[in-house]
Amino acid sequence: MYLKFDGLTITKHNTVMDESTTVSSLKNAVKKFCDDRDWGQFHGLKDLAIGTSTEANELLELFRFKTDSEIIQKMNDPVFKARVEQELSDVLFFVLRISQMNNLDLTQAFIHKMQSNSEKYPVETARSSNKKYNE
């Protein structure tokens, strides 16, 4: 079985697709999607950052005025879960587009950031703690 959209064709096995899809293939698919629509002219860094924030807020909106237990319960509803997936995908689209248009190595940046987080939050002091590293 294949899943397709524009420049991206991924073979869907009976596994989690995240395990077999590269960041690069997603960036290439986003590039083709935008190039086909001549959207590069609208995709300055400021506007893409605004898009990232806007979509993140659409994700937040799904949870507004709901308790933690209500959210946990709602995540068992396939329709609600699909809406969460859609908003996360919207955020991911902008993250991929920013990194693609600005030649940012997202994987390298993520690894560097996680290394920094590991230093800020060593397991010995951060385990089971919700304190910020400088508190």
Indicate if the alpha-carbon torsion angle 120, 113, 61, 49 is positive or negative: positive
Number of residue whose CB is nearest Mg ion: 90
**Minimal distance, residue 11 CB to Mg ion, in Å:** 27
**Minimal distance, residue 27 CB to Mg ion, in Å:** 19
Distance, in Å, from the CA atom of 44 to the CA atom of 62, rounded to the nearest integer, reads: 28
Q: Are the C-beta atoms of residues 97 and 62 closer than 8 Å to each other?
A: no
6 sits near Mg ion (criterion: CB under 5 A): no
83 sits near Mg ion (criterion: CB under 5 A): no
Distance, in Å, from the CA atom of 99 to the CA atom of 44, rounded to the nearest integer, reads: 12
Distance, in Å, from the CA atom of 93 to the CA atom of 26, rounded to the nearest integer, reads: 9
56 sits near Mg ion (criterion: CB under 5 A): no
90 sits near Mg ion (criterion: CB under 5 A): yes
Binder of Mg ion out of 8, 33, 58, 74 (CB under 5 A): 58
Q: Which residues bind Mg ion (CB under 5 A)?
A: 55, 58, 90
